Homo-oligomer: A and B are copies of this chain.
């Protein structure tokens, strides 16, 4: 039924490869099937000016795509700026800030760079899921060094897309599904099922409340699996 042969509630093969960067304080190559996103966490002293002398830190994110990460090559300028790019960067940042205690972080900034090496749908959800791993590994590293006493993480966060495809609610859309779905929603959920962000869009016809609720149920299932994978890789790494 699905182009990939997956079940309606089946994720793609998920791999979260930790410590792939020689230099970043934390890093993770997140693979959701053929979607590959390289996430790095860079710890910097100091914070943006609006936070100076507050004792609080900041987590921010930037999303980019390699020009030939997509079926046809994108202009390099479009990959680095533009509305969609900024929108996703802001979403990743908000999602990660939602589970970080800024007082415990102290006046430091952690920059999460999420660069899409290969895109096959769901790049923003892979970026959030992998970005969380990079962030957690960087904080683990800081704890080891004694730079922070206690982990500033108040929970974990993962993200998945769901959509209405051929009349069915399906989990984790790939590009083929995404480009023809009637509706497409991205869910960012904490490890305990709390809602951080919901973004749902009707691509053609408006959709009904019941349909939306079935997408939410799928998302909870998918994020639970991703949370499990995150936990495993973070415990093993570092």
A contacts, CB < 8 Å to B:
21-24, 27, 34, 38, 40, 42, 44, 62, 64, 66-73, 76-77, 80, 82-84, 86-87, 89-90, 94, 98, 111, 113, 115, 117-118, 120, 155, 185, 189-190, 192-202, 205-209, 212, 216
Complex CA–CA separation, A22 to B174 (angstroms): 14
User: CB within 8 A of A87: which of B68, B73, B90?
Assistant: B90
Complex contacts, A70 vs chain B, CB 8 Å: 23
CB distance from A18 to the nearest CB of B (A): 15
Task: Please tell me how many copies of the chain the complex holds.
Answer: 6
Complex contacts, A84 vs chain B, CB 8 Å: 90
A80–B73 touching, CB < 8 Å = no
Complex contacts, A21 vs chain B, CB 8 Å: 68, 118
Complex CA–CA separation, A69 to B23 (angstroms): 7
| Chain A at the B interface: SS class | mixed
A198–B196 touching, CB < 8 Å = no
Complex contacts, A94 vs chain B, CB 8 Å: 201
What are 23 residue pairs bridging A and B, where the CB atoms are less than 8 Å apart in the complex? Answer: A21-B118, A22-B34, A22-B120, A23-B68, A23-B69, A23-B118, A24-B68, A40-B67, A42-B72, A44-B73, A62-B76, A64-B76, A67-B115, A68-B113, A82-B86, A185-B198, A189-B206, A193-B209, A194-B205, A194-B207, A195-B209, A198-B200, A209-B216
